[in-house]
């Protein structure tokens, strides 16, 4: 099982994730309602940190064409996209901006899972998330058992360290943010403990 730590804002947070082998590091680039939002200058600075074996992910909510252009200049491996896009549009974004795509689906009810079928041919990873965006909301993770194993599945929505043993049976990647914070600030010890637990499970 792989892990993405999302909503990173400081050099120290990114270096902690990279040195403790977080597979993906996520940055909130255009969603100002989130307390994890960073401006372009900060993003640029953080992208200069040697990512070693990690991948850098830019999280974009309903991005405009201008935003795609702007953020494609950053040293990102993936765009993680929230919004209503067709398969064709996502394919064009992928080709035009030379980024891999994590397509985010917001899950409120079981049938929302099936939206993966729109993107299965173009997205590199499908993220099954809660409907809360910047809030950590839970939903029934077992719903994703109906998604075929040929799809690389990422799971988000109020995930914490105690769930990992169970989640490894149903997802390829966990996406975590709020559980690694104390008073809405990333807690370096929580990050280290979470990544250590992932390593133990994988070993």
136 has pLDDT over 60: no
Q: What is the pTM of this model?
A: 0.95
Rounded distance between C-alpha atoms, residue 16 and residue 158, angstroms = 21
Q: Which domains does the chain have, with CATH numbers?
A: 2-202 (3.20.20.70)
Q: What is the pLDDT of residues 149-191, one digit of tens each?
A: 999 999 998 899 999 999 999 999 999 999 999 999 999 999 9
Q: What is the pLDDT of residues 74-109, one digit of tens each?
A: 999 999 999 999 999 999 999 999 999 999 999 999
């Amino acid at each position: 099982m792989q892990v993405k730590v999302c909503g990173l804002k400081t050099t120290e947070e990114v270096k902690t994730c990279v040195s403790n082998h977080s597979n993906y590091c996520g940055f909130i680039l255009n969603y100002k309602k989130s307390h994890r939002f960073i401006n372009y200058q900060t993003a640029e600075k953080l992208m200069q940190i040697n990512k070693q074996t990690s991948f850098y992910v830019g999280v974009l909510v309903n991005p405009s064409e201008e935003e795609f252009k702007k953020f494609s200049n950053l040293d990102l491996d993936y765009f993680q996209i929230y919004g209503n896009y067709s398969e064709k549009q996502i394919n064009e974004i992928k080709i035009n901006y030379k980024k891999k795509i994590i397509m985010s689906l917001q899950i409120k009810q079981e049938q929302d899972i099936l939206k993966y079928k729109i993107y299965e041919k173009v997205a590199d990873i499908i993220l099954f998330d809660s409907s809360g965006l910047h809030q950590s909301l839970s939903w029934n993770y077992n719903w994703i058992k109906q998604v075929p194993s040929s799809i690389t599945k990422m799971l988000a929505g109020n995930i914490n360290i105690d769930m990992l043993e169970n989640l490894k049976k149903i997802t390829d990647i966990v996406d975590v943010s709020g559980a690694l914070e104390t008073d809405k600030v990333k807690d370096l010890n929580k990050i280290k403990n979470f990544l250590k637990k992932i390593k133990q499970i994988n070993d």
